Amino acid sequence: MSGHEVGPDEIDLRQAELPPVTNLAIVTLALLVSGGVYLAAQLNRSTSLVVPGILVGAAVLCLLANVVMLTRLKEFAWGSFFLVGKWALLGYVVIAGVLEFVFVYDHTPARELSLFTVMLVVFAVNVPLLLAYSVARYQPVSPRN
């Protein structure tokens, strides 16, 4: 038996129909990594930014879709979501900041740097969202009266 039993006045979200936030967050990460690898491989060459731009644009759209899906949830463990999310966001903002510093320190060209910056912002928001949702979706919540 698990540690917390669901009481009569609580809703068990483990059995609820929730939007595919986790799946879309993983797709977002895959798009970011694909765009980042492609861009890094072409960094010292004169190349078009169309392919990584499309991948980053798709990642941004996936992230926005996730946020919209989350805002439509009525019964959800928002306390747990924000508790996990704020600390994860702090950690990932530090990670993204260090990576941004590396790109600037290495004199990454402006066009590529701007695209890397967008990738890092999406990364720094997407991963905490994924972590917070993954924790909060399994927390029982009391229904609102």
- pLDDT tens digits along 108-124: 999 999 999 999 999 99
Cβ burial of 102 (10 Å; 0-12, 13-18, 19+) is exposed
Residues in the chain: 145
pLDDT at 107: 92
The CB density around residue 52, as the number of other CB atoms within 10 Å, is: 26
H or E element in which residue 28 lies: helix 21-41
pLDDT digits (tens, 9 = 90+) for 2-21: 555 655 666 555 556 889 99
In the predicted structure, residue 37 carries a pLDDT above the cut 70: yes
pLDDT digits (tens, 9 = 90+) for 45-83: 777 889 999 999 999 999 999 999 999 998 899 999 999
CA neighbor of 80 nearest in space, from 9, 128, 135, 8: 135
What is the C-alpha to C-alpha distance for residues 73 and 79, in angstroms, rounded to an integer? 13
Structural domain boundaries of the chain?
Answer: 19-136
Mean pLDDT highest for which of 4-8, 100-104, 138-142? 100-104
